[in-house]
Copies of this chain bind each other. A is one copy, B any other.
Amino acid sequence: MRIGILGTGIVGRTLSGRLSHSGNDVMMGTRDVASLRERDDQEEPFARWHTANPGVKLGTFAETAAFGEIVVNATSGLASLEVLEGIGQEPLNGKILIDVANALDFSAGMPPTLAYCNNESLGERIQQALPHTKVVKTLNTMNARIMVDPRGIGNGDHHVFLSGNDPIAKRKVADYLRIWFGWKNAIDLGDITSARGTEMVLPLWLRLWEALETSMFNFKIVQE
């Protein structure tokens, strides 16, 4: 399957690496391919990561959006709308866009606040910007390692959430999450406005990271 991953940070790399290793045709999108290859200001320079993951193609954001049969937004949440507006609607029309981003604003120091909150969410803003794209918000309530390997904690006995306006697109994404990564437990929260719910979990998630001294945890919904 041809998958486009927008963003080359930890989340983009983790998703791209896993999807490429399991036989998908993956392109990763960035603002400027040449400068990404040359950057060495990151913990792991991109070039070194790419040497270990040679199957992943590299393109501009627009090339990556056009390439993917399905596209993932793994850009920084504060930049996502600008990136997607730069791409324009056409390359994404009719496609599923899996949005895994969170718009954490660190400009006023710690703890960060949410750039979209309470009566709006990044997921909704993206759906508004791309009216002919099926935006499905998911995976944004856990760290990148758990996204691609839910069995890595608690034998996979915990939950991932889905928000989106198109029920068929959500069912497809739930299937992909199972096939790609092994997700057994997905909860459909409703339309894209329910992305407020999962995005607003981030402040609790960050406090749990501090309290537990690890980010290797996830939420399980325990019922009767």
A62 to B140, CA, bound (A): 44
- Taking A114-B118, A118-B118, A211-B188 as contacts, is the C-beta distance between A206 and B216 under 8 angstroms? no
A204 and B201 contact, Cβ closer than 8 Å, known pairs A193-B111, A217-B222, A220-B220: yes
Do A222 and B158 touch (CB < 8 A)? yes
A207 on the B face (CB < 8 A): yes
The reply to whether B214 and A189 form a contact with Cβ atoms under 8 Å apart is no
Q: State how many angstroms separate the Cβ of A206 from the closest Cβ of chain B.
A: 7
Describe A's contact surface by its main secondary structure.
mixed
Decide if A208 is an interface residue (CB 8 Å cutoff): yes
Whole-angstrom CA separation of A70 from B116 in the bound complex: 38
* Chain A window 190-218, contacts with chain B (Cβ cutoff 8 Å), 1 for yes, 0 for no: 10011011101101111110111010111
User: Is A153 an interface position by the 8 A CB rule?
Assistant: yes
B224 near A152: Cβ-Cβ < 8 Å: yes
Please give, as numbers and ranges, the residues of chain B lying within 8 Å of A212 by CB-CB distance. Answer: 187, 221, 223
Is A219 in contact with chain B by the CB < 8 A criterion? yes
A83 to chain B, nearest CB (A): 23
Q: Which residues 123-151 in A have Cβ within 8 Å of B in the complex?
A: none
> Chain B residues with Cβ under 8 A from A175's Cβ?
none
Distance, CA A50 to CA B16, complexed state (A): 61
- Cα(A157)–Cα(B224), bound, Å: 11
Beyond the given A158-B222, A197-B208, A218-B222, please list 14 additional residue pairs across the A-B interface where CB-CB is below 8 A. A113-B118, A113-B119, A117-B118, A118-B118, A157-B222, A187-B211, A187-B212, A188-B211, A190-B211, A196-B203, A208-B221, A217-B223, A219-B222, A220-B222
